[in-house]
A and B are shown apart, each in its own frame.
Chain A
Amino acid sequence: MREGDGLDLELHRRLSAGDREAFELLYRRYAPSALGLATRVTRQQALAEEVVQEAFLALWRAPEAYDPARGSFRSFFLSLVHHRAVDTVRREERLRNRTQRAQNLEPVRGEDVAEDVVEDAYLRVRREEVRNALGTLPPEQRQVIELAYFGGSTQAQIAEALGIPIGTVKTRTLAAMRKLRRALYPEGTA
Chain B
Amino acid sequence: MTEEHDRIEELLAGYVLRSLSGEDAIRADRLLSEHVPSCPTCRRTLAELRELAGELGLAAGASSPPTPLLQGIRRRIDGVARPSRLPRRVGALALAASVVALAITSGLSVSLGSRAREAEAQRGTALEMLSLMGLPGTEPVDLDPQGGTPDRARFVQVSAPQVRRIYLAARECPDPAPGHAYQLWLGSGGTFVPIGEMFRPVDGVVLLTLTLDVSRYDEIWITEEPVGDPPPSPSPDGRSWRAEL
Contact = CB atoms under 8 A, between A and B. Distances in A.
B24 to A, nearest CB: 7
Given A49-B69, A74-B55, A181-B49, A113 B61 contact: yes
Interface of B: 6, 9-11, 13-14, 16-22, 24, 47-66, 69-70, 72-73, 76-77, 82-83, 189-192, 218, 231-233, 235-237, 244
16 contacts: A31-B65, A33-B57, A53-B72, A70-B47, A70-B50, A72-B55, A78-B57, A80-B190, A83-B189, A127-B59, A145-B17, A148-B17, A150-B60, A154-B20, A158-B19, A174-B9
Interface in A145-165: 145, 148-150, 152-158
Interface string A176-190: 010011001100110
B12 to A, nearest CB: 9
Contacts of B9: 174
A80 B189 contact: yes
Contacts of A24: 70
A39 B57 CA distance: 11
A19 interface: no
A117 B62 contact: yes
A182 B235 CA distance: 37
A142 to B, nearest CB: 11
Given A76-B189, A83-B190, A91-B236, A123 B50 contact: no
Interface stretch (A6-14, A54-62, A98-106): A54-62
B75 to A, nearest CB: 10
B61 A173 contact: no
B58 A117 contact: no
A32 to B, nearest CB: 4
Contacts of B231: 94
B69 A130 contact: no
B52 A177 contact: yes
Given A57-B76, A155-B14, A71 B61 contact: no
B60 A36 contact: yes
Contact of B64 (A70, A110, A117, A149): A117
A41 B190 CA distance: 15
A70 B47 CA distance: 6
Contacts of B69: 31, 35, 49, 52-53
A181 B24 CA distance: 23
B44 to A, nearest CB: 9
Given A24-B70, A173-B10, A185-B51, A83 B62 contact: no
Contacts of A140: none
A119 B10 CA distance: 34
A21 interface: no
A78 B59 contact: no
A33 B62 contact: yes
Contacts of B48: 181, 185, 188-189
B58 A126 contact: yes
Contacts of A44: none
A31 B73 CA distance: 12
A72 B52 CA distance: 10
Given A60-B77, A61-B83, A145-B17, A180 B52 contact: yes
- Closest 4 A/B residue pairs (Cβ): A75-B54, A83-B190, A78-B57, A32-B62
Contact of A77 (B21, B54, B70, B233): B54
